[in-house]
Structure 1
Amino acid sequence: MLDTIRQWIVEFTDWLLEILLWLPRELFALFMDALASLVESIPVPDFVNQAAGAFGSIPSNVLFFAHYFAVSEGIAFVLAAYLIRFIIRRIPLIG
């Protein structure tokens, strides 16, 4: 009898813990979905479309060396670093 009651208590605490851990996960998932839909609703600026046309006029010799020296990855790294710097500077007591 005592083992049965102990097992019920253990099962109840496991169930309660599962519910208490499920709620923050679901709230976080809902928050991330809302944030993603907000970011996706931002329109693409016009200069991005114009930049795609500007790259079409670059000669093939320059494109070969830009690809060889991984210029596109380097530009992505630099822009990511500037973005991270911008975000960190906005955090109180850190930036």
Structure 2
Amino acid sequence: MATVRLALALLLSLPLCAGASSLILTTSFLVEFLGQGGWRPLSTLTREPAARPLSARSGLRPVAVDLHTRAGLFRPPALVLVHGLSPEGKNDRRLREAAALLA
């Protein structure tokens, strides 16, 4: 009977654990991003993402695009960084740091 109760308690706590994990990662992202890397909790909790160039076109002309993604057991969503948000384009240090955190 105690084993059944323990199993039920663990099963019922799974949504709480998933929510807490999401809250911890979101808070870690905000602390690291807004703190401009002074304190790096998200980088401590996660692996460094890989960035690779993608070929993309806007009409007839090529557009510089980078794909940021993390390797793992499950394929998480990727982030595409495109030129145009800042004067330095997709190679702006702050944009690349933000993309690495968001990936």
TM-score, shorter chain, exceeding 0.5:
no
By percentage of residues, which structure has more strand? 2
Give the TM-score normalised by structure 2. 0.31
- Calculate the TM-score normalised by the size of structure 1: 0.32
Between Structure 1 and Structure 2, whose CA radius of gyration is higher?
Answer: 1
Q: Which has the higher contact order (CA 8 A, sep 6+)?
A: 2
1 or 2, which has the higher helix percentage?
Answer: 1
